[in-house]
Amino acid sequence: MTASQTGNSDRFAVHPLPDGGTPEKVWARAGLRLPPLDLAGCREIVIVGAHPDDETLGFGSAAAMLAESGVRVQIVSASDGGAAFPNVSLLQRYRIEALRRSELRAAADTLGLPTPISLGLPDGDIARHEQRLTDLLIEILTDTPAGTWCAATWRGDGHPDHEAVGRAAAVAAECTGTVLLEYPVWMWHWARPGDPAVPWERARAVDATPAAVTRKMRAAALFRSQFEPTEYGDEPVLPPYFLPRLLTVGEVVFR
């Protein structure tokens, strides 16, 4: 079993956000040359994220292009992201969750997508509810037409919630005969070019149009609770280098 199958939470843990992880310029110099992702067979797609913003950051350009081409794109958010600020009261956490659901709806609208489905599982503890998530995703995918695909956070992404969502989506896709794509988000932080923990042989690059990238950037900017200081914290949840690095590497999926 490879490292990507067993998870990479240990790799992520030794690269705290303040240290910056693998710099954007390292990925830029690497010049990843990956086969393009062929979306021709996708008739409908369900995009599953662990938290509001995962779908936009990891797969937003692809989602915008698919929607523009007439493909129905449904976002499913496993949690409402209430643990982004750990030292808050229960009432404050409730308000944060409501804010993040609102940001997600606005981002989906900017990408040209319908209202997201929010499952409300506990942020930071999704692994303990993995079977419940798997059952819900099976139910969602069973109710979709033939030719539906599923895109979910990668099982080896490093963040425990991302990996739990990836595992649940993989089981649900296998049970329903659905094509599965896995998109990394935090991999770009802890991994290095050519990293053996990454299944590069399965990697495919999204050939995003400039218009789709612009939509993604506008949608990402709507997650102000993550990219700007708030009343709950003096520092942004996601550091300034985070989004530019994702835009530099582009969108990659494992198929």
Q: Sketch out the chain's domains with CATH numbers.
A: 22-27+36-254 (3.40.50.10320)
Provide mean pLDDT across the span 213-241. 94
In the predicted model, is pLDDT for residue 239 greater than 50? yes
pLDDT band at 5 (very low <50, low <70, confident <90, very high): low
* Chain centroid offset of residue 117 CA: 15
In the predicted model, is pLDDT for residue 244 greater than 90? yes
Q: At what angle do helices 210-221 and 242-249 cross, to 10 degrees?
A: 160
Predicted confidence (pLDDT) per residue in 193-220, tens digit: 999 999 999 999 999 999 999 999 999 9
Predicted confidence (pLDDT) per residue in 7-30, tens digit: 999 999 999 898 899 999 999 999
Residue 197, amino acid: A
Which helix or strand (DSSP H or E) is residue 26 part of? Answer: helix 24-30
